[in-house]
């Protein structure tokens, strides 16, 4: 989800530049890997931070709201992320830290609970568990790295009047493991920005969840979706994150993305 | 046969409704006792197994370690090949402040990662967890089952006060669980908390009770066990949930075995009631039988008629007993569950169900008991000739059969039972069954002639003491020896049971009290948990220094007990600072002596074992006890064998330094505190309380209070047994009532004549009451030696077979004293209705009475 919440996916359309060096079939359609690389290059930022409003609506329509601050340093496979809940008071101080691991392994993740004064490591087996009761799970909280997927262009589609590339991404699972069998990514052609993602769980044929990114703004020269909504298509619940006070490339203290800081009272 | 049943049996039952009901009650009480005990026993065992299964969920294996599994192990397990998922668990029983809600099983699970382990989810259809983040963020969060929440009046967001080691804590319901799968564990009295909150709540430190392991597809359980045992070493126990459940069931088997004896007794007493009732019924219907025989009925048909009556009574009594048993069994189950929780730290809760198997067994028992009881009288009835039947009083004048061979056979059987009990030819349940069967039959054979002899001997005394009522009651008792001896048999058996079990319980208590006087000699006991078997909080070892530094404290010993498996039994390994302990306690040695124990334990890394450990495992001085420690298997040579009652499975004691070296775990169950001479222990208690306040739970007992609490645990062990003793007394009461009612009915004509000759109603009533008292007295006289033998058997071979403890024999004087007060009262009450009936007999009706 960090690929979405912390760094809304940015993809670059490199078709024109790449055409001369690609093989004949590529002339007919751009290469999906190249599209993703270009998107990454175009939207890469050193850091990002924002305040988020989280709203979870269950299938009965019951609403739960939370607030958090989010910090990211690095990008894609080498990014470090910290989320600190700020609201309501009962959950204030709860922290989530994600740190990359060498190679292609899944990142390390910890959840910090201030009332217990201790961090809890999220085990790889728990990547499918719901992230603090939202419709995102812990794998969704990992930084997206297209290198870990076999990607292929599926075609084009128009979403909300915007032409999009449709790319299928299948986890390679070399060293890392995924709970998903396939992701279907929808990239806006004009800005190479991810606007929708359909997530198919292993052993299933139909998407279990759908992520919609909307309210795309240009902040400090970078495109960013200020509203993201993950819908659990089976449960009928959905989680919306609204991003505020977004800023990019601000220097982050090196100690921010450490376990010591995660477990520090009031540490942001 | 149907014609005979309708016209002869039914008409007799109608005319003697009260007696028929009492006969029926004999079967009902016997079957009720059996079915209630059996139903509760089964529910307890099934409850334990089912709770283990339901909580285990999809776990293939469970990893445990004495003293708890360190948190770090989870990471090690996750990284092993073949492991699909791991999940830490903490289990604890707590009691809500509103005690009527019953014990709650608290299960601490990792809600973040539990979905791989249990079929049950904590969101969606399975549970409506209101806010998972709030649940994790607030340590007072809990999930309850809907059924429990309804009973407790809980809704999401409301609180429940529960008693935990640190006092009363309020937990907040953050969601409710639907009653299926996991949520049905412990009969639905379940509270789910986050495992890390449970660590805090129950003082587990950074340890879990166990880690559940789910294997990857394609990895067999055997492969998984091998893999884990190899990777983790001998300090960890790796077993399937089913095996863990079996071990718990085996542990409570000792406890439940005692109830089989109780139900067997209740049923055998019921047989005597039936025997008595049918015996009298045959005598009362001699004329009818004579008529039948004169009309051409064969002896076989007559016998079948009475057996058919018994069959009907047996079936009816069996069915009613089943129903009554089910009603009683829930209360019995609660009592059994409390006892096993207190004694073994194992809880199994559930709802009792009358299973078809128990129903069939109960019905069959009722039937068999009824047929066995009626067999003799039915045979007698078949042998009645028509001429004999019509000759009034002929049967009373009939000479008694020779009693010599009967006494000889009875004595021989009792002697055989005693010899079997003293030998080691048979063990366990078979021993109990054989001895009780042989001894029981022997007693039955002996009681008839003996009771008659006693009644004959008492006759002159009764006449002297009660000139008018004495001869009447003496004649009534001697006039129908079968009825009298049948009642006395039931009475004597009941009292044998009461005296035997009472003696056994008294002896156990006395022995343990004496042992406590020798061992528990310090002034104060500081502990964090009320439960002796399953401490729910352990102190850090450093607390010792804090207590020792308090003014007035002379010495502090740190007692720690773990309960590892040793040759498939859960033994106790206790450790304490032996140097100071041995200065103040008096051990009773079966092997070795004080010096060898002191030298061995303190200086040579040796251990002391209990006598029951030696007897159970055949390891004594000169042998070594191999124990699994976190560092691997260590063999501890035995320095001494002591008589100790810490564990009915056997115990091994080590010096604390040795324990710390091998187990690397400094936590403490109990601090034994001795104060300086002249210091008031009460003041030291206050100082310790103030020192630990707000940091650790502290239950601080004086020596007397601590011993009383252990006494309560012993009482809890015998609580259910006491109920069965009461049942036995109830059956005896029924026996007296039946016998007297029959006696009065049989003597109606005689009573009428007596009244016609001037006897006063009061004199008649007194004679009936006296009859009851004599019946009870003779029953007691015969039960005294039999009860003593039974108590010796329970204290010796039975106790040794099941617990390994040899209890010195202690005559149950206190039980006898209670009986001497209770029996006259019971007899008096039992005689109430028959006496009133006798006093109210009208002369004119009585003379016409046949």
A218 touches chain B (CB under 8 A): no
Instruction: Choose between B372 and A48: higher pLDDT.
Output: A48
Range with the lowest mean pLDDT among A90-104, A131-145, A204-218, B820-834? B820-834
Residues of B in contact with A235 (CB under 8 A): 124
Rounded to the nearest angstrom, the minimum Cα separation between A113 and chain B is 6
Please state the three-class secondary structure of B746-805 as a single string. HCHHHHHHHHHCCCCHHHHHHHHHHHHHHHHHHHHHHHHHHHHHHHHHHHHHHHHHHHCC
What's the pLDDT at B684? 93
Cβ separation B134–A116 shorter than 8 A:
no
DSSP labels for B4-48?
Answer: HIIIIIHHHHHHTHHHHHHHHHHHHHHHHHHHHHHHHHHHHHHHH
Q: Is the pLDDT of residue A233 over 70?
A: yes
Residue B117 confidence class, pLDDT cut points 50, 70, 90: confident
Residues of A in contact with B113 (CB under 8 A): 122-123, 125-126, 129
Which residue in B672, B621, B509, B642 sits closest to B572, CA to CA? Answer: B642
Residues of A in contact with B74 (CB under 8 A): 123
Instruction: Choose between A83 and B318: higher pLDDT.
Output: A83
Q: How many CA atoms lie within 13 A of B728 on its CB side?
A: 29
- Name the residue in chain B with its Cα closest to that of A59: B124
The backbone torsions φ and ψ at residue A179, rounded to the nearest 5 degrees and listed phi first, read -85, -10
DSSP letter for A218, please: E
A179 touches chain B (CB under 8 A): no
For B134, which of A91, A114, A118 is closest by C-beta distance? A91
Does residue A216 lie in a domain region?
yes
The stretch B258-271 carries a mean pLDDT of: 68
What's the pLDDT at B337? 72
Neighbours of B676 (CB within 10 A): 12
The stretch B365-391 carries a mean pLDDT of: 76
Residues of B in contact with A55 (CB under 8 A): none
Q: What is the dihedral of CA B616, B622, B628, B631, to 10 degrees?
A: 170
Does residue A267 lie in a domain region?
no
User: B92 Cβ partners below 8 Å, 6+ apart?
Assistant: B105, B106, B108, B198, B201, B202, B536
Residue from B133, B175, B202 whose CB has the most chain A CBs within 10 Å, to mutate: B133
Please tell me the total count of domains within chain A: 1
Q: Is the pLDDT of residue B651 over 90?
A: yes
The Cα–Cα gap between B41 and B38 comes to: 5
Instruction: Choose between B828 and B613: higher pLDDT.
Output: B613
Does residue A226 lie in a domain region?
yes
Cβ separation B113–A125 shorter than 8 A:
yes
Q: What is the ipTM of this complex?
A: 0.83
DSSP letter for A20, please: G
Interface size A-B, in CB pairs within 8 Å, comes to 63
Please classify residue B397 by burial: count the beta carbons closer than 10 Å to its beta carbon, then call 0-12 exposed, 13-18 middle and 19+ buried: exposed
Cβ separation B196–A118 shorter than 8 A:
yes
Does residue A183 lie in a domain region?
yes
pLDDT in tens, B539-586: 889 999 999 999 999 999 999 998 888 887 889 999 999 999 999 899
What's the pLDDT at B551? 94
Residues of B in contact with A132 (CB under 8 A): 132-133, 136
Q: Which residues pair with B145 in a beta bridge?
A: B177
Range with the lowest mean pLDDT among B128-132, B216-220, B483-487? B483-487
Residues of B in contact with A126 (CB under 8 A): 112-113, 115-116
What's the pLDDT at B771? 83
What's the pLDDT at B617? 92
The stretch A128-154 carries a mean pLDDT of: 87
Residue A11 confidence class, pLDDT cut points 50, 70, 90: very low
Cβ separation A94–B137 shorter than 8 A:
yes
What's the pLDDT at A125? 75
Rounded to the nearest angstrom, the minimum Cα separation between A249 and chain B is 30
Which of A47-56, B9-18, B457-466 is the most confident on average? A47-56
Torsion sign (Cα): B530, B535, B540, B543: positive
Does residue B595 sit in helix, strand or coil?
helix
DSSP letter for A105, please: P
**Contact (CB, 8 A) for B35 and B362:** yes
What's the pLDDT at B496? 85
A27 touches chain B (CB under 8 A): no
What's the pLDDT at B347? 58
Does residue A95 lie in a domain region?
yes
CATH code assigned at A201 = 2.50.20.10
A55 touches chain B (CB under 8 A): no
Residue B225: both structure tokens together = 């066990």
A131 touches chain B (CB under 8 A): no
The Cα–Cα gap between B123 and B114 comes to: 12
Cβ separation B134–A90 shorter than 8 A:
yes
Rounded to the nearest angstrom, the minimum Cα separation between A253 and chain B is 27
The Cα–Cα gap between B497 and B492 comes to: 8
Cβ separation A121–B75 shorter than 8 A:
yes
Cβ separation A129–B115 shorter than 8 A:
yes
Residue from B137, B140, B214 whose CB has the most chain A CBs within 10 Å, to mutate: B137
Residue from A124, A125, A136, A208 whose CB has the most chain B CBs within 10 Å, to mutate: A125
Does residue B302 sit in helix, strand or coil?
helix
A67 touches chain B (CB under 8 A): no
Instruction: Choose between B153 and B728: higher pLDDT.
Output: B153
Residue from B87, B113, B130, B194 whose CB has the most chain A CBs within 10 Å, to mutate: B113
Q: Is the pLDDT of residue B397 over 60?
A: no
For A133, which of B116, B133, B139 is closest by C-beta distance? B133
Does residue A161 lie in a domain region?
yes
A204 touches chain B (CB under 8 A): no
pLDDT in tens, A208-226: 999 999 999 999 899 999 9
Q: Domain range for residue A250?
A: 2-262
- Name the residue in chain B with its Cα closest to that of A94: B137
- Name the residue in chain B with its Cα closest to that of A236: B124
A115 touches chain B (CB under 8 A): yes
- Name the residue in chain B with its Cα closest to that of A91: B137
Residue B529 confidence class, pLDDT cut points 50, 70, 90: confident
Place of tokens 């299933």: A204
The Cα–Cα gap between B366 and B229 comes to: 51
Residues of A in contact with B139 (CB under 8 A): 115-116
Which of A35-44, B184-193, B800-809 is the most confident on average? A35-44
User: B804 Cβ partners below 8 Å, 6+ apart?
Assistant: B610, B611, B612, B613, B615, B616, B648, B649, B650
A87 touches chain B (CB under 8 A): no
A122 touches chain B (CB under 8 A): yes
A12 touches chain B (CB under 8 A): no
Q: Chain B: which residues have CB within 8 Å of chain A? A: 74-75, 78, 84-86, 110, 112-113, 115-116, 123-124, 129, 131-134, 136-139, 196-197, 200
Q: Is the pLDDT of residue B719 over 80?
A: no
What's the pLDDT at B159? 93
Rounded to the nearest angstrom, the minimum Cα separation between A87 and chain B is 11
Strands (E), B279-334: none
Cβ separation A129–B112 shorter than 8 A:
yes
Cβ separation A133–B138 shorter than 8 A:
no
Residues of B in contact with A111 (CB under 8 A): 112, 136
Residues of B in contact with A94 (CB under 8 A): 133, 136-137
Residues of A in contact with B131 (CB under 8 A): 64, 133
Does residue A67 lie in a domain region?
yes
Of all helices (H) and strands (E), which one includes residue A36? helix A32-43
pLDDT in tens, B771-794: 888 888 888 888 888 888 888 888
A254 touches chain B (CB under 8 A): no
Rounded to the nearest angstrom, the minimum Cα separation between A73 and chain B is 25
Cβ separation B86–A123 shorter than 8 A:
yes
Does residue A113 lie in a domain region?
yes
The Cα–Cα gap between B138 and B157 comes to: 12
């Amino acid at each position: 989800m960090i690929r979405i919440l912390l760094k809304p996916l940015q993809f670059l359309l490199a078709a024109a530049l790449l055409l001369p060096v690609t093989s004949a079939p590529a002339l007919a359609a751009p290469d999906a890997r190249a599209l993703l690389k270009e998107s990454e290059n175009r939207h890469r930022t050193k850091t990002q931070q924002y305040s988020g409003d989280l709203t979870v609506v269950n299938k009965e329509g019951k609403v739960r709201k939370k607030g958090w601050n989010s910090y990211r340093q690095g990008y894609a496979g080498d990014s470090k992320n910290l989320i600190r809940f700020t609201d309501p008071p009962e959950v204030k101080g709860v922290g989530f830290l994600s740190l990359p691991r060498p190679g292609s392994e899944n990142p390390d993740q910890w959840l910090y609970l201030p009332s217990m004064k201790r961090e809890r490591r999220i085990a790889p087996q728990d990547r499918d568990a719901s992230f603090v009761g939202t419709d995102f799970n812990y794998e969704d909280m990992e930084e997206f790295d297209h290198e870990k997927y076999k990607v292929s262009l599926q075609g084009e589609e128009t979403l909300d009047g915007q032409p999009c590339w449709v790319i299928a991404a299948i986890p390679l699972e070399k060293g890392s493991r995924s709970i998903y069998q396939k992701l279907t990514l929808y990239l806006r052609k004009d800005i190479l920005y991810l606007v929708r993602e359909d997530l198919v769980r292993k052993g299933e044929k139909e998407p279990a969840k759908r992520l919609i990114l909307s309210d795309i703004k240009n902040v400090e020269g970078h495109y960013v979706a200020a509203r993201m909504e993950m819908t659990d298509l089976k449960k009928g619940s959905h989680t919306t994150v609204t991003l505020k006070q977004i800023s990019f490339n601000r220097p982050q203290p090196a100690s921010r993305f450490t376990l010591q800081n995660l477990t520090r009272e009031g540490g942001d | 046969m149907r014609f005979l049943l309708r016209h002869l049996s039914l008409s007799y039952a109608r005319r003697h409704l009260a007696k028929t009901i009492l006969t029926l009650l004999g079967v009902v009480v016997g079957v009720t006792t059996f079915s209630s005990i059996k139903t509760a026993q089964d529910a307890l065992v099934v409850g334990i197994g089912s709770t283990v299964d339901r909580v285990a969920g999809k776990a293939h294996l469970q990893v445990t370690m004495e003293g708890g599994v360190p948190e770090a192990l989870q990471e090690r397990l996750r990284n092993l090949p073949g492991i699909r998922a791991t999940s830490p668990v903490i289990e604890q029983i707590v009691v809500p402040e509103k005690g009527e809600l019953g014990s709650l099983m608290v299960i601490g699970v990792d809600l973040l990662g539990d979905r791989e382990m249990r079929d049950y989810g904590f969101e969606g259809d399975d549970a409506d967890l209101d806010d998972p983040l709030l649940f994790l963020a607030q340590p007072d969060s809990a999930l309850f089952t809907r059924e429990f929440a309804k009973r407790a009046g809980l809704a999401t967001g409301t609180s429940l006060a529960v008693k935990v080691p640190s006092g009363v804590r309020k937990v907040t319901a953050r969601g409710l669980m639907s009653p299926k799968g996991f949520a049905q564990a412990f009969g639905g009295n379940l509270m789910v908390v986050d495992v890390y909150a449970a660590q805090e709540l129950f003082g587990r430190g950074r340890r879990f009770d166990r880690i559940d392991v789910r294997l990857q597809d394609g990895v067999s359980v055997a492969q998984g066990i091998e893999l884990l045992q190899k990777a983790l070493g001998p300090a960890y126990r790796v077993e399937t949930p089913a095996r863990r459940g079996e071990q718990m069931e085996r542990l409570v088997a000792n406890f439940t075995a005692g109830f089989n004896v109780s139900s067997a007794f209740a049923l055998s007493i019921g047989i005597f009631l039936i025997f008595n009732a049918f015996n009298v019924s045959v005598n009362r219907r001699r004329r009818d039988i004579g008529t039948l025989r004169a009309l051409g009925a064969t002896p076989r048909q007559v016998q079948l008629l009475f057996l058919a009556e018994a069959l009907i009574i047996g079936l009816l009594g069996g069915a009613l007993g089943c129903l009554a048993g089910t009603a009683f069994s829930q209360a019995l189950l609660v009592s059994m569950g409390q006892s096993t929780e207190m004694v073994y730290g194992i809880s199994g809760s559930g709802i009792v169900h009358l299973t078809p198997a128990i129903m069939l067994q109960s019905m069959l028992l009722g039937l068999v008991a009824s047929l066995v009881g009626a067999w003799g009288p039915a045979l007698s009835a078949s042998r009645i000739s028509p001429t004999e039947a019509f000759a009034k009083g002929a049967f009373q004048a009939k000479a008694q059969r020779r009693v010599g061979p009967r006494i000889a056979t009875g004595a021989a059987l009792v002697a055989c039972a005693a010899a079997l009990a003293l030998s080691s030819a048979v063990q366990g349940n078979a021993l109990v069954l054989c001895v009780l069967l042989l001894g029981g039959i022997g007693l039955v054979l002996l009681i008839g002639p003996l009771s008659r002899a006693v009644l004959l001997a008492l006759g002159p005394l009764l006449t002297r003491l009660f000139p008018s009522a004495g001869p009447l009651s003496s004649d009534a008792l001697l006039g129908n020896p079968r009825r009298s001896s049948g009642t006395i048999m039931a009475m004597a058996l009941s009292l044998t049971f009461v005296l035997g079990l009472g003696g056994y319980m008294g002896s156990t208590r006395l022995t343990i009290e004496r042992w406590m006087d020798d061992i528990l000699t310090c002034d104060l006991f500081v502990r964090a948990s009320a439960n002796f078997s399953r401490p729910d909080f352990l102190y850090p070892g450093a607390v010792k220094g804090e207590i020792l530094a308090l003014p007035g404290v002379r010495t502090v010993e740190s007692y720690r007990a773990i309960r590892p498996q040793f040759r498939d039994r859960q033994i106790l390994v206790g450790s304490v600072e032996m140097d100071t302990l041995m200065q103040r306690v008096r051990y009773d040695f079966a092997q070795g002596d004080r010096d060898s124990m002191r030298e061995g334990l303190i200086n040579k890394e040796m251990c002391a074992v209990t006598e029951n450990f030696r007897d159970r495992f055949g390891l004594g001085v000169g042998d070594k006890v191999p124990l699994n420690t976190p560092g691997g298997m260590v063999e501890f040579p035995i320095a001494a064998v002591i008589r100790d009652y810490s564990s009915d499975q056997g115990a091994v004691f080590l010096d604390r330094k040795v324990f710390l070296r091998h187990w690397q775990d400094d936590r403490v169950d109990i601090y034994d505190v001795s104060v300086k001479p002249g210091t008031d222990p009460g003041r030291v208690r206050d100082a310790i309380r103030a020192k630990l306040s707000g940091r650790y739970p502290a239950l601080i007992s004086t020596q007397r209070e601590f011993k009383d609490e252990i006494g309560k645990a012993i009482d809890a062990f015998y609580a259910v047994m006491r109920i069965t003793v009461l049942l036995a007394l109830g059956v005896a009461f029924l026996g007296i009532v039946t016998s007297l009612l029959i006696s009065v009915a049989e003597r109606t004509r005689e009573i009428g004549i007596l009244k016609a000759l001037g006897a006063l109603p009061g004199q008649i009533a007194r004679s009936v009451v006296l009859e009851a008292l004599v019946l009870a007295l003779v029953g007691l006289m015969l039960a005294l030696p039999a009860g003593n033998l039974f108590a010796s058997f329970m204290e010796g071979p039975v106790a040794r077979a099941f617990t390994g403890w040899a209890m010195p024999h202690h005559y149950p004087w206190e039980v006898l004293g209670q009986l001497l007060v209770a029996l006259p009262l019971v007899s008096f009450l039992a005689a109430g209705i028959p006496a009133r009936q006798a006093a109210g007999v009208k002369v004119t009706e009585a003379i016409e009475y046949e």
